[in-house]
Amino acid sequence: MSEDQPGSDPTSHGDALAVVIAKPRAQTVIEQLRAEGVYDADRSVQAWDEAGVAVPVTEPPQSVTYREVVRQVGEPRLRTLADHLRERSWTDAECEQAPSSWAVIGSVVLVDIGDSPRPAEVGEALLQLHGEADTVLARHGIAGDHREPDVEVIAGTGDTETVHVEHGTRYALDLAEVMFSPGNKAERARMGEAVERDEHVLDMFAGVGYFTLPMARAGANVTAVERNPTAFRFLVENTMLNDVSERVEPYRADCRDVVSNLATEQRADRVVMGYYEASAPRAEDSRAPPDASHEYLDSALAALAPGGVVHMHEATPEALVFDRPVDRLESAAADAGRSVEVLDTRRVKGYSEGVAHVVVDARVE
């Protein structure tokens, strides 16, 4: 489907074809082409003109609009980061120190640079590998009460604001200001499948709308709470970007304050606790901060209607998966005079060495 005019294209299916599209659409189009089965991952996305890029395809697609179909010139894609680094005269030993994983978030490549030599060259190589991106960020961790990322621009334009697309959900965000975990992709999509239409969901730690948006797009009514002012701004923007503002009630607040009102007005059918430490018990040390996270699990249960479902995320040492999060949930429920039925347990991803990010789904009577 051409953006300019309809009609058949003279290129044959045996040629190395590409569709020319506006660069800001690149990630959305690649996702659509993958779904249709015509994206050619053996060749790279290339700049075409000032405003457009050429996205390689195996045949003209039916599911997307594009300016034109062209014969893509140039060499076949260098398949790995090491291929690109060797072209920069890196030795095999240096390539072994290069990053082994990264993620393309909208127009930004997010990478754990580690002890890699010459980070700027790694960044430039990643831009060559991913022609749809224009900035490479090295991430150095998450810090502070608001879970703010510590990142560094190592290549490209330095523009850290972008729109990331997953399974049709659009996330506007600034990767220098708010966190985004690529490894949670499947869990974000799953939450959109888990909800029932018109049910009431409380998302206690909404961020930019990681779980809120797919749930609202599926028809749930979501109370979304986020206290980070930057993340909250993007949360509100994203509800409009995804046409779900009528289904999302956003609060910039501590979720415990919101829960104290919800518990007396309307309990939730489902509560999402996406913060890893939200199940931690009160520290015995009297020096524990006043916002110690033991109260989050208590608050989640107070907001949950009888028979409702809680999705509790936790960073758990491997030796304690899944026993610790289940024990914590059952203990909190017993203190509240309620019972727990565990519905499912899942590993989402590795959190750190020897620690797993897990989720427990449970019905609370």
pLDDT band at 121 (very low <50, low <70, confident <90, very high): very high
Highest-confidence segment of 9-13, 44-48, 242-246, 294-298: 242-246
In a domain, 3, yes or no: no
What is the C-alpha separation between 304 and 308, in angstroms, rounded?
Answer: 6
What is residue 78's predicted lDDT score, i.e. its pLDDT?
A: 56
- Mean pLDDT, range 215-242, rounded to an integer: 97
Residue 265 burial (CB < 10 Å; 0-12/13-18/19+)?
A: exposed
- Note whether 345 and 199 are same-domain residues: yes
185 found inside a domain: yes
- 28, 92: one domain: no
Report pLDDT for 76.
57
The secondary structure element, H or E, covering residue 103 is: strand 102-105
Q: Where does residue 204 rank: exposed (0-12), middle (13-18), buried (19+ CB within 10 A)?
A: buried
Same domain, 265 and 129: no
Looking at residue 278, what is its pLDDT? Answer: 74
Q: What CATH number did the domain enclosing 275 receive?
A: 3.40.50.150
The confidence score (pLDDT) of residue 2 equals 43
pLDDT at residue 285 is higher than 50:
no
Q: What is the pLDDT of residue 362?
A: 97
Q: What is the mean pLDDT of the chain?
A: 86
Q: Which of 159, 187, 220 is the last residue of a domain?
A: 159
pLDDT at 293 over 50: no
Do 113 and 248 fall into the same domain? no
- Residue 246 and residue 358 share a domain: yes
Q: Are residues 245 and 360 in the same domain?
A: yes
What is the CATH classification number for the domain harbouring 123?
3.30.300.110
Q: Is position 7 within any domain? A: no
Q: Is residue 9 part of a domain?
A: no
The pLDDT score that the predictor gives to residue 145 is 64
Task: Give me the pLDDT at residue 125, please.
Answer: 93
Does position 339 have pLDDT exceeding 50, yes or no?
yes
Q: What is the 3-state secondary structure (H, E, C) of 292-361?
A: CCHHHHHHHHHHEEEEEEEEEEEEEEHHHCCHHHHHHHHHHHHHCCCCEEEEEEEEEEEEECCEEEEEEE
Domain count, the chain: 3
pLDDT by residue (tens digit) across 43-65? 778 878 878 888 889 999 998 88
Same domain, residue pair 213 and 318: yes
| DSSP code of residue 365 | -
For residue 86, what are the contacts with CB-CB under 8 A and spacing of at least 6? 95
pLDDT at residue 44, as a whole number: 77
Range of the domain at 137: 81-159
Please provide the distance, in angstroms rounded to a whole number, between the alpha carbons at the two ends of the chain: 52
Kind and range of the H or E run holding 83: helix 81-86
Give the global pTM: 0.79
Q: 188 and 327 in one domain?
A: yes
- Whether 251 and 324 map to the same domain: the answer is yes
Mean pLDDT of 230-253: 97
d(CA 32, CA 39): 9
Name the percent of the chain lying above pLDDT 70: 88
Report the amino acid identity of residue 105: I
* Domain-located, residue 197: yes
Q: Say if residues 236 and 310 touch (Cβ distance below 8 Å).
A: no
136 neighbors 152 (Cβ within 8 angstroms) = no
The Cα 274–Cα 183 span in angstroms is 13
pLDDT reported for residue 74: 55
On whether both 209 and 119 belong to a single domain, the answer is: no
State the average pLDDT over residues 110-120: 92
Residue 228 lies in a domain: yes
In this structure, the answer to whether residues 182 and 250 fall within a common structural domain is yes
Kindly state the average pLDDT of the residues 2-16: 45
- Residue finishing a domain among 71, 92, 116: 71
Evaluate whether residue 169 is within a structural domain: no
- Domain final residue pick, 126, 159, 192: 159
Distance from C-alpha of 58 to C-alpha of 339, rounded to nearest angstrom: 55
Structural domain includes residue 166: no
If you average pLDDT over residues 161-190, what whole number do you get? 92
Comparison of pLDDT for 15 and 138, the residue scoring more: 138
Q: Are residues 338 and 226 in the same domain?
A: yes
